[in-house]
Structure formats: C-alpha cells, structure tokens
Amino acid sequence: MINKKYLNISEVSKMLQIEEHKIRYWDSLDPKTKKYRVAGISTKSAGGTRYFNKDNIKKLQKLKSILYDGNNQNYSIKLAEKILSSKNHLSIQNDQNTKNYQYSDNVEKINQILNKMRLLLKNNDNKLQRKK
C-alpha cells in the first residue's frame, strides 16, 4: 500500500482493480432511501472530492471480495453492506500471496436467507398457478 495518508479514487481504483464508476456507485446516495448504499467508504472534501484512508480501503477490499471473488457473484449491494456492517465481519488473511476467505457465519446466514427466498418464490408461484 502507498504510504500516503489519503488516496484519490483513481489511485484506489488501480490498487484494488475496481473500476472507478463502481466505487462511485457504492459511495453514492440511494435515491429511494436517501442513504449511502455502503456507508463509510470514503471521506469527502468540502468540494465533494472522494479521498480514501486505510480503513476505507480495507472496507472496499472486503466489499469487493464479497461481491466479486470466488463463485458467489450474485450478492446484492444491500446484502453486502449488511455483511460488512455486521458484528461477524468477513475476515481476510494473507498466506504467502494467497487469500484464504473465511466465510463461516456469513455463508450460513446467506444460505438461510436464500432458502427462505426460494421458499417464498415457490409459494408465490403455486398461488399464481392455482388462480389460473
């Protein structure tokens, strides 16, 4: 990591290999809720320029790993934000240039949510077919 206290969005984008527009999207307000899609990703200047400190960069790394790494690429941004803000954070360890992801509690919670959603969708489909 660069030894500067704050990095700009292009430096962070290159370092983490995340497109700038994705970082801006994650760091923007949701028009429906008027809340940040993912809170605490950047520090903004009075002029609105985004700057990133070490904590912001760690949060972006975790968000990227939740949304894009491995076989689990179907998470929504809201679910990823909940995982990031939960007490059981996804822990990332570096072992000789390989990353070992420990999903433990989070995977179990996500699987429970997915199973409930599947059951709800199945029940909804059954209701629609009975109406026909």
Distance in angstroms (rounded) separating the CA atoms of residues 64 and 76: 12
Radius of gyration for the chain, computed over Cα atoms and rounded to the nearest angstrom: 18
pLDDT of residue 2: 58
Architecture of domain 7-131: Orthogonal Bundle (1.10)
> What ranges do the domains of the chain cover?
7-131
Banded pLDDT at 20 (limits 50, 70, 90): very high
Ranking 33-37, 63-67, 82-86 by mean pLDDT, the lowest is: 82-86
Mean pLDDT of 41-50: 90
- List, in sequence order, every residue forming a beta bridge with 36; answer none if it has no partner: 29
DSSP 36: B
What element of type H or E holds 67? Answer: helix 54-68
- pLDDT > 50? residue 52: yes
Tokens matching residue 22? 């994705």
Which residue is it, tokens 């993912």? Answer: 38
What element of type H or E holds 127? Answer: helix 104-131
Are 120 and 112 in contact, with CB atoms under 8 Å apart? Answer: no
Segment 94-112, tens digit of pLDDT: 333 333 344 455 667 777 7
